[in-house]
């Protein structure tokens, strides 16, 4: 296996967090194992890694019930075909995915235009699956224009996905550092969640919020009008973080003139 899996036992629920290698900046697919099924959250950028996550999920011996896509960035939906289950998504996120053109990343990986129709609309609120309450919340602003947060309050698990990175450089291409700071502050104010599942990197505890706050504050300080200068400065400040490649992708949006 190229990726790695971290398993967390939460009683009636087990969390299997599949993390891709560093070449796709440790993107994570969360596999939520309830008593009778598997709920998949996000689908990887590289289809080969999506295949790995899907094969691991199938090896758990329970049917895959659905794939939830949290937001309209291709590192979370490009591998949907690997899972072969209904896709559940916020209507706004589905529209944003459909509006994205085909692209080719700096490493040559092709990302085709994607249409998630047919798909199942997620309505914010609580859904009980196999006796386990899942709380779905829509969040605006931050790493993406709109995102889904999934909470399992009885297990103390908060699936933040790309609102939280763990030891991985942040994607700032949405150009909303302030909005991201506000969302992180709101999540950090929630009590009862001792496990935070990141969209990039390993599962963490609530201390990860302070790490994200610090990185965002540093990015706000260092961002200027030169993308390469920003990349050097933030990498120098966080030399142990993986994924400097993600800064290049974000700089395409932040510095369209190519700086």
Average of pLDDT values for 78-103?
Answer: 96
| Residue 108, pLDDT score | 80
| Residue 259, pLDDT score | 55
pLDDT at position 107 over 80: no
Cα torsion angle, 121, 122, 125, 127, sign: positive
Quickly list DSSP for 105-171: -TT--EE------S-EE--SEEEEETTEEEEEEEEESSSSSEEEEEEETTTTEEEEEEEEESSB---
Average of pLDDT values for 88-113?
Answer: 91
Average of pLDDT values for 41-50?
Answer: 96
| Exposed e or buried b per residue across 30-67, where buried means at least 16 C-beta atoms within 10 angstroms of its C-beta | bbbbbeebbbbbbbbbbbebbebbbebbeeeebebbbb
- Confidence band of 256 (pLDDT split at 50, 70, 90): confident
81's tokens: 């075909």
- Confidence band of 258 (pLDDT split at 50, 70, 90): low
| Residue 103, pLDDT score | 85
Distance set, CA 199 to CA 69, 110, 143, 160 (Å): 11, 21, 11, 7
Average of pLDDT values for 183-194?
Answer: 96
Reading phi first (left if > 0) and then psi (alpha if -120 to 50, else beta), residue 6 is in beta
Note the pTM of the prediction, 2 decimals: 0.96
Share of the chain above pLDDT 70, in %: 98
Residue found under tokens 């590192």: 75
């Amino acid at each position: 296996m190229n990726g790695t899996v971290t398993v967390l036992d939460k009683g009636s629920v087990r969390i299997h967090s599949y993390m891709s290698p560093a070449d796709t900046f440790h993107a994570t697919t969360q596999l939520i194992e309830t008593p009778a099924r598997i709920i998949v959250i996000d689908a990887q950028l590289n289809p080969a890694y999506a295949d790995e996550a899907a094969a691991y999920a199938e090896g758990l011996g329970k049917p895959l019930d659905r794939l939830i896509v949290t937001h309209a960035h291709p590192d979370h939906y490009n591998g949907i075909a690997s899972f072969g289950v209904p896709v559940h998504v916020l209507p706004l996120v589905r529209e944003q995915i459909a509006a994205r053109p085909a692209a080719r990343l700096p490493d040559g990986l092709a990302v085709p235009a994607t249409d998630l129709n047919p798909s199942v609309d997620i309505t914010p609120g609580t859904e009980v699956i196999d006796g386990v309450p899942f709380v779905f919340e829509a969040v605006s602003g931050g790493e993406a224009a709109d995102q889904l947060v999934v909470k399992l309050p009885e297990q103390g698990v908060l699936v933040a996905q790309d609102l939280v990175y763990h030891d991985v450089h942040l994607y700032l291409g949405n150009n909303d550092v302030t909005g991201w700071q506000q969302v992180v502050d709101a999540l950090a104010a929630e009590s009862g969640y001792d496990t935070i599942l990141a969209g990039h990197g390993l599962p963490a505890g609530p201390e990860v919020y302070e790490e994200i706050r610090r990185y965002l504050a540093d990015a706000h300080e260092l961002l200027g009008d030169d993308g390469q200068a920003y990349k050097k400065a933030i990498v120098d400040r966080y030399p142990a973080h993986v994924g400097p490649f993600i800064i290049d992708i974000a700089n395409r949006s932040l510095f369209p003139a190519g700086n």
